[in-house]
Amino acid sequence: MNFKTVAKACVVSLLVSGPTWALAQNQINMAKGVTEVGAQIYGLHMLIFWICAVIGVAVFAVMFYSIIYHRKSRGVTPAQFHDSTQVEIIWTIIPFLILIGMAVPATSTLLEVYNTDDAEIDILITGYQWKWKYEYLDEQGDNVAFFSNLATSQEEIYNTDAKGANYLLSVDEPMVIPVDTKVRFLVTANDVIHSWWVPELAVKRDAIPGFINEAWTKVPTEGVYRGQCTELCGAYHGFMPIEVHAVSREEYDAWLAAKRSEKVAQTAAAQQALGFEELMASGEAVYRAQCSACHGAQGEGGVGNAIAGSAIALGEVAKHLEVGIKGVAGTAMQAFGGQLSDVDMAAVITYQRNAFGNNTGDIVQPADVVNHKQG
Amino acid sequence: MFRLSQHPTIDTASKLVAVSIAMFAFVFVVMVPLYNVLCDALGINGKTSDEAYIAISTEVDVSRAITVQFVTSNNNEMPWGFKPSVTMMTVNPGAANDTVFLAANGTNEAMVAQAIPSISPSRAAEYFHKTECFCFNQQPLDANSSTQMPLQFIVDQALPRDIKTITLSYTLFDVTGMVADKKVAAR
Amino acid sequence: MGAHHGPAKGMSRWLLTTNHKDIGTMYLWFSFAMFILGGAFAMVIRAELFQPGMQLVEPGFFNQMTTLHGLVMVFGAIMPSFVGLANWMIPMMIGAPDMALPRMNNWSFWILPPSFLMLASTLFMEGGAPAFGWTFYAPLSTTYAPPSVTFFIFAIHILGVSSIMGSINIIATVMNMRAPGMSYMKMPLFVWTWLITAFLLVAVMPVLAGAVTMMLMDIHFGTSFFSAAGGGDPVLFQHVFWFFGHPEVYIIILPAFGVVSQIIPAFSRKPLFGYASMVYATASIALLSFIVWAHHMYTVGMPVAGELFFMYATMLIAVPTGVKVFNWITTMWRGALSFETPMLFCLGFLVLFTLGGFTGLMLSIAPADFQYHDTYFVVAHFHYVMVAGAVFSMTAAVYYWIPKWTGRMYSESMGRIHFWVSFIGFNIAFFPQHFVGLAGMPRRIPDYSLQFADFNMMSSIGAFIYGASQLLFLYNVIVTIVAGEKVGEDKIWDGAEGLEWTVPCPAPYHTFEVPPKIDAVSAHA
């Protein structure tokens, strides 16, 4: 294995692949992405890369020349020179000048990244262990907020089902933004430090609990852009992806309106009495999305306790609701009361009490959840 | 030079031990306070002062309108309801403004909360002066009760001209446990 | 001191020794054991990452493996190995009979095994071992940490004390015990790099101690250094940690630079080019290392002025580092090169460390780093500089000096095989990590999306090959000690310079009890 051969292979591949399309198999270079800032960053990356490549080739050429021609086995007599102030000065000054050349475009791109002025839409992004919450800030205070969970199933992760496309990169509720609109992100965290990164938008910002950070993007091209959490945040750090859908202005407006009416509908639904089958069906979906990672696809447990045959699932409904809504302090069991709608909470509690062989026959209605929350 | 010992080795070693101890102390005595001072003074990390601001000038700059946006979050399972009464205000630099935030403790226990503010963009933090803020103190609330928490602020006339929107975010933390510990310790 | 009759017999020899050669030997064997342990953790990591999906371990345990791999390699393998080398070589290189504080030297070593035993035992504690990364950011490492975090903190305190004591010893030795006539600018470069490293250690290990003490206080004594609720800030942790952490990486690499500066001239049969310049470059790197720490935190939300300052300062470190690389290559230029195993590892160092330096320069560019930070691109970078840099250099040192330590020669053909398998395995393991990092794969994840699968499989295979080659290294070392060909001369390598080559092989238990004469024109090695 000769370094030069490998280097040549890489150079050729880079020239051929150029701005690779995202999520390509075996991609070897950074995505150029779809945003203007992202293109600037990509350009900087390639500039520094080429400068390093040229310097590297030159430096290694000298070294390999020596290795080949300055060998004892060729019978050469070693020279004895051992310093030259002139040469030291030259190879201090020249690299210094090259660095200044790099610093200029780097500075202007950084200033661009930091310029969050004049955004039209503000989205509060909150990192949770282990999901994201997106809250669209509204002037009247009528914010649309929802959680965005990993949509890949436990069966795919644990190899009992085939892995789908966008394995580990798809979510149940994506962030939707309109194209050609400057969107400002306010990034924070609920518990530990997380980091929100979408490579094709070239946005990465740490989510620090108790503080907000700012970022922005303006996406010119409709599409789906995927990213991941990029700060170790606990066991499921690798399982909280990000999905951003950039759509036309009309589509965005329609989506936002639909989300608002969903909120209204959920409040209304919380008043109704739902049927057992309905509760079990949606409960199963909620269980798979929210609970199965820790409690097992068959309720067998894992990081979390088993649900099958558990004292809580078979015991008093009030205690079961308490655990689901308030969580268990000092453990990884979070308070889901703020994360699930009352309908979803009722459904998943009903499901846990009747699935996995539990068969209590208990039905928990959204109104029961509402009452429990009110104390 | 200042000798700690006649024996050169012990002299060197003693000086180095002193340096180690000094560097350990440096963390607590210099790094932590310096970080807080710099954050306070330069508004790094969007930190605002935790003391009430005393206004010097009352001149209002009517040529500029700044949008101030209010955002609230609850930290980690903090169960209170917590929202701003208005989510946005348009203000002039130099003018005194006030608003309230609504907090509701829906649990069956008395609790204590602490609101932690954070400003975006962080360079605006040093120009955002709170003359009164519920975040200066811990907020106790009895079970099943709610309250209105006041905020009074002035945006400094010297706010850089390119900033047109300031976002003030409060994160509400449950500090009931911390307060209880202190009470026990104080006895 | 009545120890002129040679070493004591039995276990008490090792437990009670104050002899720098014995202590050096213990440090080297301890670090090798830690290298194997840290390597075993790496094998678990790469085995799980061999394919997408979770096959072997749970995500929480995977995080324990990545955390312990980092901690054991940095604090248990690499640092103690260079301290062991310092112990063996510095007294001989400066013509001193032993280290300045021999009894403290014994303590410096012996507190290490219990400390690592405590760290490893956290695997068996309730809640598992620390799983928050070797960089242990708060609040994951404070409010959300498992109970074992307290033992982790004690372990860090203890090994910090060991490092500080060892460094004090090195500085006191070099400053006070050089043979008459050996001025500072006549010292071998290995001694210079260790002197500078020791100052860095004395300055920053206490800062690490401060960081973990603040953690301890937040966890157990109700303070809020790193918790926003009490008026603190998680980002303060990062500043304190990296104020230690950046000088730490230079602590790891500077002694490696020193080794390479001894070996390349020996096998080029030519003096080191630009000795003075090398000393100044090392000192500049050490000084600059104090003002660049926040390049590990570019995405944390620093104000733009701070971000720019750290970017410029970080880019600047490329200058003295480049000077060193140029000097090594110019040392080779028009020399009479031969390629025994120590030289092979040094040449591998020269190529691969330089590659790591280039990716370091790319990472220093703050806006570009928004795309690199916390991805496998960073993992590739630091493995190039730490493994192909520091570990290759240490390996070269072992092959170079083992005849001096043991009186026996290693097998050149076995050494050559070790080099090539290491070199090939290392590159197959880590070169593809540049690609997956650029393509979007984050760090510290136990499972990944399908488009990263092929390169991850390649990387795992490379890692297994590299791991196996370290077992070959162990074999080579043992066979040399037990059955290697005995050497006759004092100076094994015809191009080598330095006082250590004027004493017999193996080096007598006590050397330079009478200081040697350093003549006026004697060249530094």
pLDDT of residue C267: 97
C14 lies in a domain?
no
Q: Look over chain A and give the mean of its residue pLDDT values, rounded to a whole number.
A: 90
Range of the domain at C94: 30-502
The answer to whether the Cβ–Cβ distance between A118 and B84 falls below 8 Å is: no
Q: Distance between CA atoms of A189 and A192, rounded to whole angstroms?
A: 7
Q: Distance between CA atoms of C331 and C495, rounded to whole angstroms?
A: 13
Cβ–Cβ contacts within 10 Å for residue B180, how many? 11
Q: Distance between CA atoms of C59 and A235, rounded to whole angstroms?
A: 5
Cβ of residue A202 closer than 8 Å to a chain C Cβ = yes
Average pLDDT score over residue span C500-518:
94
Give C61-82 as a DSSP string: HHHHHHHHHHHIIIIIIIHHHH
Q: Under an 8 Å CB criterion, which residues of C touch B? A: 100-101, 104, 164, 167-169, 171-172, 175-177, 202-207, 209-211, 213-214, 222, 225, 228-231, 233, 235-236, 239-240, 243, 301-303, 306
| C463-476 tens-digit pLDDT | 999 999 999 999 99
C233 lies in a domain?
yes
| A222-262 tens-digit pLDDT | 999 999 999 999 999 999 999 999 999 999 999 999 999 98
Domain count across chain A: 3
The answer to whether the Cβ–Cβ distance between C53 and A52 falls below 8 Å is: no
Which of A186, A335, A373 minimises the CB distance to B71?
A: A186
Give C-chain residues touching A22 at CB under 8 angstroms: 440
Range of the domain at A151: 121-267
| B102-143 tens-digit pLDDT | 999 888 889 999 999 999 888 888 899 999 999 999 999 998
Cβ of residue A191 closer than 8 Å to a chain B Cβ = yes
Angle at alpha carbon of residue A193, lines to A123 and B151, rounded to 5°: 55
Cβ of residue B36 closer than 8 Å to a chain A Cβ = no
pLDDT of residue A214: 92
Q: Are A109 and C367 in contact (CB under 8 A)?
A: yes
Which of A28, A167, A230 minimises the CB distance to C52?
A: A167
The answer to whether the Cβ–Cβ distance between C222 and B75 falls below 8 Å is: no
Give B-chain residues touching C297 at CB under 8 angstroms: none
Least confident of A248-257, A268-277, A278-287, C186-195: A268-277
**Coil, strand or helix: which one is A19?**
coil
Domain count across chain C: 1
Average pLDDT score over residue span A152-175:
94
Show the tokens assigned to C238: 């990062």
The answer to whether the Cβ–Cβ distance between B118 and A210 falls below 8 Å is: yes
CATH number (domain holding residue A189): 2.60.40.420
By percentage, how much of chain C surpasses pLDDT 70?
Answer: 98
Examine the domain organization and report whether A211 and A74 are in the same domain: no
Q: Distance between CA atoms of A178 and A245, rounded to whole angstroms?
A: 8
Q: Look over chain C and give the mean of its residue pLDDT values, rounded to a whole number.
A: 95
Examine the domain organization and report whether A235 and A360 are in the same domain: no
Give C-chain residues touching B23 at CB under 8 angstroms: 202-204, 206-207, 210
- Helix runs in A189-341, H state only: 249-269, 276-286, 292-295, 311-314, 317-326
Quick check: A10 pLDDT over 90? no
Cβ–Cβ contacts within 10 Å for residue C455, how many? 24
Cα distances (angstroms) measured from residue A36 to each of A40, A216, C374: 6, 12, 23
Examine the domain organization and report whether A275 and A254 are in the same domain: no
User: Which residues have a Cβ under 8 Å from the Cβ of C103 and sit 6 or more positions away?
Assistant: C18
Examine the domain organization and report whether A248 and A326 are in the same domain: no
Burial A175-207 (b: 16+ CB within 10 A, else e): bbbbbeebbbbbbbbbbbbbbbbbbbbbbbbbb
C443 a catalytic residue: yes
Instruction: Count Cβ atoms within 10 A of the Cβ of residue C1 and give its class: 0-12 exposed, 13-18 middle, 19 or more buried.
Output: exposed
C248 a catalytic residue: yes
What is the band of A275 on the pLDDT scale with cuts at 50, 70, 90?
Answer: confident
| C64-75 tens-digit pLDDT | 999 999 999 999
C162 a catalytic residue: yes
Q: Distance between CA atoms of A229 and A242, rounded to whole angstroms?
A: 8
Q: Distance between CA atoms of A85 and A106, rounded to whole angstroms?
A: 32
Average pLDDT score over residue span A149-157:
94
Average pLDDT score over residue span A95-117:
94
Q: Distance between CA atoms of C235 and C239, rounded to whole angstroms?
A: 6
Q: pTM for the full model?
A: 0.92
Report the candidate in C96, C239, C255 with the shortest Cα–Cα distance to residue C167: C255
CATH number (domain holding residue C71): 1.20.210.10
**Coil, strand or helix: which one is A246?**
strand
CA distance C175 to chain B (A): 8
C524 lies in a domain?
no
CA distance C376 to chain A (A): 11
Q: Distance between CA atoms of C396 and C343, rounded to whole angstroms?
A: 7
C175 lies in a domain?
yes
What is the band of C8 on the pLDDT scale with cuts at 50, 70, 90?
Answer: confident
Of the residues C31, C122, C142, C163, only one is catalytic, namely C163
What is the band of B53 on the pLDDT scale with cuts at 50, 70, 90?
Answer: confident
DSSP structural state of residue C410? P
Q: Distance between CA atoms of A18 and A12, rounded to whole angstroms?
A: 10
Between strands A213-218 and A182-189, the pairing is antiparallel
Quick check: C483 pLDDT over 60? yes
Quick check: B169 pLDDT over 90? yes
Quick check: B73 pLDDT over 70? yes
What's the one-letter identity of residue C155? A
pLDDT of residue A141: 78
CATH number (domain holding residue A105): 1.10.287
C186 a catalytic residue: no
Contacts with C, A 96-115, CB within 8 Å: 96, 99, 102-103, 106-107, 109-114
Quick check: A21 pLDDT over 70? no
Examine the domain organization and report whether A125 and A253 are in the same domain: yes
Give C-chain residues touching A231 at CB under 8 angstroms: 137, 374
Look-up of token digits 């070593």? C109
Q: Look over chain B and give the mean of its residue pLDDT values, rounded to a whole number.
A: 87
Q: In the β-sheet with A194-198, what is the strand arrangement from edge to edge?
A: A175-178, A242-247, A223-229, A194-198, A203-207
What are the backbone angles phi and psi of residue B152, rounded to the nearest 5°? Answer: -125, 130
A169: nearest CA partner in chain C: C449
The answer to whether the Cβ–Cβ distance between A110 and C337 falls below 8 Å is: no
Q: Which of A47, A69, A89, A237 to mutate to test the interface with C (most CBs of C within 10 A)?
A: A237
C163 a catalytic residue: yes
**Coil, strand or helix: which one is C378?**
helix
Q: Are A178 and A245 in contact (CB under 8 A)?
A: no
pLDDT of residue A186: 96
Quick check: C83 pLDDT over 70? yes
List all chains that touch chain C, counting a touch as 3 or more CB pairs closer than 8 Å.
Answer: A, B
Examine the domain organization and report whether A54 and A169 are in the same domain: no
B50: nearest CA partner in chain C: C231
What are the backbone angles phi and psi of residue C20, rounded to the nearest 5°? Answer: -65, -30
- Helix runs in C230-317, H state only: 234-268, 275-288, 304-316
| A45-94 tens-digit pLDDT | 999 999 999 999 999 999 999 999 999 999 999 999 999 999 999 999 99
**Pairs of residues, one from chain A and one from chain C, whose beta carbons lie less than 8 Å apart:** 292
Cβ of residue C231 closer than 8 Å to a chain A Cβ = no
Q: Distance between CA atoms of C342 and C322, rounded to whole angstroms?
A: 22
The answer to whether the Cβ–Cβ distance between B171 and C228 falls below 8 Å is: yes
Show the tokens assigned to A68: 């080949």
pLDDT of residue B44: 65
C98 a catalytic residue: yes
CA distance A352 to chain B (A): 22
Cβ of residue A195 closer than 8 Å to a chain C Cβ = yes
Q: Distance between CA atoms of A226 and A232, rounded to whole angstroms?
A: 18
Q: Distance between CA atoms of A286 and A281, rounded to whole angstroms?
A: 9
Give B53-105 as a DSSP string: PPP------TT--EEEEEEEEE-TT---EEEES-SEEEE-TT-EEEEEEEEEE
C372 a catalytic residue: no
C515 lies in a domain?
no
Average pLDDT score over residue span C444-457:
97
Q: Dihedral of CA C167/C171/C177/C178: which sign?
A: positive
Of the residues C98, C340, C369, C497, only one is catalytic, namely C98
C268 a catalytic residue: no
Report the candidate in A14, A23, A85 with the shortest Cα–Cα distance to residue A227: A23
Average pLDDT score over residue span B89-112:
90
Average pLDDT score over residue span C435-441:
97
- Single residue among A251, A267, A283 that ends a domain in this structure: A267
Cα distances (angstroms) measured from residue C34 to each of C27, C70, C255, C395: 10, 11, 19, 15
pLDDT of residue C2: 45
Of the residues C46, C178, C295, C381, only one is catalytic, namely C295
| C223-253 tens-digit pLDDT | 999 999 888 999 999 999 999 999 999 999 9
DSSP structural state of residue A136? E
What is the band of C59 on the pLDDT scale with cuts at 50, 70, 90?
Answer: very high
Quick check: C414 pLDDT over 60? yes
Q: Are A369 and A321 in contact (CB under 8 A)?
A: yes
Q: Dihedral of CA C482/C485/C487/C493: which sign?
A: negative
pLDDT of residue A20: 31
Examine the domain organization and report whether A279 and A344 are in the same domain: yes
Quick check: C376 pLDDT over 90? yes
Examine the domain organization and report whether A193 and A153 are in the same domain: yes
Give C-chain residues touching A6 at CB under 8 angstroms: 427, 431
Instruction: Count Cβ atoms within 10 A of the Cβ of residue A59 and give its class: 0-12 exposed, 13-18 middle, 19 or more buried.
Output: middle
CA distance C435 to chain A (A): 4
The answer to whether the Cβ–Cβ distance between B13 and C168 falls below 8 Å is: yes
Enter the ipTM.
0.94
- Single residue among A267, A289, A320 that ends a domain in this structure: A267
Q: Distance between CA atoms of A366 and A270, rounded to whole angstroms?
A: 5
Q: Distance between CA atoms of A13 and B136, rounded to whole angstroms?
A: 59
Examine the domain organization and report whether A69 and A99 are in the same domain: yes
Quick check: A2 pLDDT over 70? no
Examine the domain organization and report whether A155 and A276 are in the same domain: no
Look-up of token digits 């030795």? C173
- Single residue among A58, A84, A113 that ends a domain in this structure: A113
Report the candidate in C360, C362, C233 with the shortest Cα–Cα distance to residue C302: C233
Q: Are A348 and A283 in contact (CB under 8 A)?
A: yes
Q: Are B116 and B97 in contact (CB under 8 A)?
A: no
C331 a catalytic residue: no
Beta strands in chain A (DSSP E): 121-128, 131-136, 144-148, 175-178, 182-189, 194-198, 203-207, 213-218, 223-229, 242-247
Cβ–Cβ contacts within 10 Å for residue C494, how many? 12
Examine the domain organization and report whether A280 and A251 are in the same domain: no
| A282-303 tens-digit pLDDT | 999 999 888 988 898 889 988 8
Element (H, E) at C39: helix C20-48
C21 lies in a domain?
no
CATH number (domain holding residue A337): 1.10.760.10
The answer to whether the Cβ–Cβ distance between A91 and C371 falls below 8 Å is: no
C411 lies in a domain?
yes
Q: Distance between CA atoms of A218 and A149, rounded to whole angstroms?
A: 24
Q: Distance between CA atoms of B153 and B150, rounded to whole angstroms?
A: 10
Q: Are A205 and A246 in contact (CB under 8 A)?
A: no
Q: Distance between CA atoms of C231 and B36, rounded to whole angstroms?
A: 10
